[in-house]
Structure 1
């Protein structure tokens, strides 16, 4: 299996190869590289599609060990992965947590970023009214495992209600270990607000957001789109937090139109 040994990590990745422009997909909290399967299927052949598992997630995660990290560390991981693969510049496609690290990569490694596609993400901190609920769920999950009721709560927050593929993700979440959960949520909770720095990001950006996202409300993403110097806004009707996974048709269409404009 392909792993990149960079920054003291063994990052799992998948790379379709090819000579087309490179797209690198960074997943959300509690997810993994497979959440971008609908985009890879639609874009491979014309584009070099690279997906990876971030610290504490998927096949990168060590079930017994996870050192504390922040999203600048994850941004460094992304830049190091691109260097490992010989990719000089790429379009960074990030969903939620993947957007947090992609934005920071654009700030600290601007030379590797051709453009940004930001899906159901934001530049500001978490909603302070939601954090106590997140923390209570996390404590119960780490101490007692993920109950069926808790899994449904996470499902509704990430995937919306009634999505046909949810059972597979609930099964993955039940395998998450406390050490990886703890440090992944700590990175989320302790991140900085980069809203004031958005004007520094001059590359073209596409901001896509589900109209029914309850994890990050659309107004937060719209504020980010307005603050970025060169951003386009697309709202996906009826989609929740993982719009690219549950509503791939309109999301893929928006990404393809954006990439076409890049040339």
Structure 2
């Protein structure tokens, strides 16, 4: 494993870990995680792949820009590109969870020539039109908590959400480690990320047309108890022609840590199919709108 620092095109330094050799996989973490969140994936895939993880801006030892205007969905997307450029990687499988999954989708839309494949996992928070206002309000409340409360208290509140209890119930030890790492985050970075990225990002449901045009092989993943992400995941499956959908049973939002063996198995099969040229586009005959094929 090599630890390096990369400077983005807007002058922000990002902490990167580079492990293994072979075709590259770039892992993009969620809001409540950091590069350590992909330890079960790096341990598994670095035996045969070059695994690249990094801390997003706002997550030390990456830099913490002081203004939330330095944080955005477009910037999160371009930080993936800048990490790849800094390592001399022209193309990679890109794997994102939650906030990282949004960035991964936008990376595929903007830079399809750089993406061998996309894994878009746990994506959907705040996406439905009737939830946009509620999500923005909750992001602001969470940002203020990180600014005003001790970091452990603010992190504890965020990490005990209704889509995290599944992880706690299945793996109390893993969940305790996840919560301890969340409490080590930078309060200002967390607040800026909530206001700059989470609160302002476009809805999945506003991306139908660009998703229809995207040909990058994609695997959409969600837990069946991750209610904010279910509808958005089905929507992505219906609009990305080269996509498959995995719904993991009795699983919440932290799916790569909650069910690491199943998560890794799905990714391994997906990467293999992509690399063999056997990952399909959806047959248009399956989208005619007919139920029994009578019209």
Same fold judged by TM-score > 0.5?
Answer: yes
Taking structure 1 as reference, are residues 234 and 81 closer, same or farther at Cα in structure 2, changes over 3 Å only?
A: same
2:217 to 193, 204, 210: 204
| Conserved 8 A contact 1:56-1:66 | no
Structure number with larger C-alpha Rg: 2
- How far apart are 1:257 and its partner, in Å? 0.9
Secondary structure of the residue aligned to 1:87 is coil
Bigger CA drift: 242-251 or 54-63?
Answer: 54-63
**Counterparts of residues 121-160 of structure 1 (less than 5 Å):** 121-122=123-124, 125=127, 127-128=131-132, 129-146=134-151, 148=153, 151-157=156-162, 159-160=164-165
RMSD between aligned residues: 2.4
Q: Is the 8 A contact 1:21 1:48 kept in 2?
A: yes
| Structure 2 SS opposite 1:217 | helix
CA contact (8 A) 1:42 1:252 kept: yes
TM-score (norm 2): 0.80
SS class of match (2:16):
strand
Cα deviation for residue 231 of structure 1 reads: 0.5
3-state secondary structure, aligned to 2:160: helix
Distance 2:59 2:154 in 1: 22
- Counterpart for residue 190 of structure 1: 200
The match for 1:42 is: 44
Task: Give yes or no for contact 1:12–1:59 (8 Å, CA) kept in 2.
Answer: yes
Is 2:146–2:154's contact at 8 Å kept on the other side of the alignment? no
Distance 2:151 2:240 in 1: 38
In 2, Cα distance between equivalents of 1:87 and 1:112: 9
Deviation of the 1:150 alpha carbon? 6.4
| Compared CA separation, residues 63 and 170, structure 1 to 2 (3 A) | farther
Alignment of 1:47-66 (within 5 A): 47-62=49-64
Is residue 96 of structure 2 the alignment partner of residue 83 of structure 1? no
Residue 206 of structure 1 deviates from its aligned partner by: 0.5
> Which residue of the other structure, out of 203, 218, 224, is the alignment partner of 2:230?
218
CA distance in 2: counterparts of 1:131 and 1:123, whole angstroms: 10
TM-aligned CA deviation for residue 64 of structure 1: 6.4
Task: Say yes or no: does 1:247 pair with 2:249.
Answer: no
Q: Corresponding residue for 1:26?
A: 28
Q: Any gaps of 5 or more consecutive residues in structure 2?
A: 277-295
CA deviation vs aligned residue, 1:37-85 (integer Å, no higher than 9, x gap):
1111111121111111111124214396775221211211111211111
Runs (5+) with no aligned partner, structure 1? none
Shift of the alpha carbon at 1:125? 2.9
2:4 to 2, 5, 10: 2
Number of equivalences: 261
